[in-house]
Amino acid sequence: MKKANINNALTAEYPESFKEMDSAELKRFFVTDKGRCGFHDTERHMVLNVAWSKPGILGFLTDERSVLRGAEMRLKYNLPTYHKIEDLSAEIAGCKAIGISFEYQVINTDIIQRSDLYVFKFGKAFYSPQIIARKDVFEDSRRIMEKFLGSIKNL
């Protein structure tokens, strides 16, 4: 297992078959590399990533549910075939996390992707770990995600 530093606050472990995504790859997949780290396994067509952000001036009004709602609104806007499957919950780094499982068709292809996205608050920042994989191999990929989530710890 390889170890990743997430925002100088958390660490996570990911399998040896994954490579850390550079700035260009992060921008290609997620539009920006700001506040994000990611890991890609090209043979499995699978991405693990974690995004983070600190709330602004009205941070006391922000909670996990509002961050997740904002993420879902962006997904609906950017992915015309977005379809929510179910709500999720987990404990990550000793924190309660909420999430969604969804799928979408990759633009200009016949490929259906599936994703689990979680949100939790650690310190003053919100963290959003996510897995993206092809629908036909998602259940096997989800096991890797569960190990990844279970490995997230404070630094």
**pLDDT tens sequence across 77-124:** 999 999 999 999 999 999 999 999 999 999 889 999 999 999 999 999
Beta bridge partners of 47: 40, 132
**Of 133, 131, 142, whose CA–CA distance to 111 is shortest?**
133
Looking at residue 140, its pLDDT comes to 86
Q: Name 144's Cβ contacts closer than 8 Å, sequence gap at least 6.
A: 15, 46, 48, 131
Q: Where are the domains of the chain?
A: 2-154
Kindly report the average pLDDT of the chain as a whole number.
93
SS3 7: coil
- pTM across the whole model: 0.93
Average pLDDT of span 56-81: 87
**Dihedral sign of CA atoms 86, 89, 90, 92 in order:** positive
CA distance readout (Å), 145 to 67, 89, 90:
21, 14, 12
Among the residue ranges 6-20, 50-64, 103-117, the one predicted with the least confidence is: 50-64
pLDDT in tens, 23-35: 999 999 998 999 9
2-154: CATH superfamily = Mog1/PsbP, alpha/beta/alpha sandwich (3.40.1000.10)
